[in-house]
């Protein structure tokens, strides 16, 4: 069937693009009012997220929660701090809502700047790149396992201890 499909000009990748593998590394979770967030750093293996960068992101989330910009509902979730290039960062906060849905807030920070939400880009908005989807895919499976469990305290603990690490 696919022989008759014309894909000319669709999904083109610039010829100068060089795709690499990155690493997903779990770190200490962050507990904020109304939420417990597992934490992942994503970066090129030779350009890891620094402790100072992680601390800045954690303080930012504390401030956003403190001022009511991030309103959590007694949830579980995860954070992805993605270092992209020399100094650009994506900070993705995901929580499980409505039982089986990931709800996400996306922040960005350029070199020397502060975190801010991505401006309204219209109907289509950035969600996650191929590297960020590594921990997210793991979290989907971990949450599905939790939903299939008795969902008691031991099951919650098993969920928060189930972390992704490795190449993405």
pLDDT tens readout for residues 29-79: 999 999 999 999 999 999 999 999 999 999 999 999 999 999 999 999 999
Residue 155 lies in a domain: yes
Q: Report if residue 115 sits inside a domain.
A: yes
| Residues 114-138: tens digit of each pLDDT | 999 988 777 888 889 999 999 999 9
Query: Is residue 13 a part of any domain in this protein?
Result: no
Buried b (16+ CB within 10 A) or exposed e, 92-104: bbbbbeeeeebee
**How much is the pLDDT for 122?**
79
Angstrom CA distances, 167 to 11, 24, 133, stand at 24, 6, 11
pTM (2 decimals)? 0.94
Number of domain units in the chain: 1
Residue 53 inside a domain? The answer is yes
The rounded distance, in Å, linking the Cα atoms of 115 and 54 is 12
Band of the pLDDT at 152, cuts 50, 70, 90? Answer: very high
Tell me the per-residue pLDDT of 78-105, one tens digit each, with 9 for 90 and over: 999 999 988 899 999 999 999 999 999 9
pLDDT at 120: 77
3-state SS assignment for residue 44:
coil
Q: Could you tell me if residue 162 is inside a domain?
A: yes
Which pLDDT score, from 0 to 100, does residue 1 have?
63
Let me know if residue 1 belongs to a domain: no
Taken in order 87, 52, 80, 69, the sign of the CA dihedral is: negative
- What residues make up the domain containing 126? 21-167
pLDDT at residue number 73: 97
The Cα 136–Cα 53 span in angstroms is 21
Residue 116 lies in a domain: yes
Between CA 33 and CA 71 the distance in angstroms is: 9
Residue 8 inside a domain? The answer is: no
Please state, in angstroms and rounded to a whole number, the distance separating the CA atoms of residues 32 and 23.
26
For residues 41 and 164, what is the distance between their CA atoms, to the nearest angstrom? 10
Average pLDDT for residues 141-156, to the nearest whole number? 98
């Amino acid at each position: 069937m696919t022989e008759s499909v014309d894909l000319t000009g669709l999904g083109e990748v610039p010829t100068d693009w060089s795709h690499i593998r990155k690493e997903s590394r779990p770190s200490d979770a962050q507990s904020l009012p109304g939420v417990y967030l597992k934490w992942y750093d994503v970066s090129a293996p030779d350009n890891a997220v620094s402790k100072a960068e992680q601390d800045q992101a954690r303080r930012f989330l504390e401030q956003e929660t403190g001022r009511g910009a991030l309103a959590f509902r007694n949830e579980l979730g995860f954070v992805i701090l993605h270092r992209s290039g020399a100094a650009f960062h994506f900070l993705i906060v995901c929580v499980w809502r409505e039982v089986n849905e990931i709800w996400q807030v996306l922040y960005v920070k350029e070199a020397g700047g502060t975190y801010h939400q991505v401006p309204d880009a219209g109907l289509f908005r950035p969600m996650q790149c191929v590297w960020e989807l590594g921990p997210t895919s793991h979290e989907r499976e971990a949450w599905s396992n939790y939903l299939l469990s008795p969902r008691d305290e031991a099951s919650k603990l098993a969920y928060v201890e189930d972390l992704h690490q490795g190449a993405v």
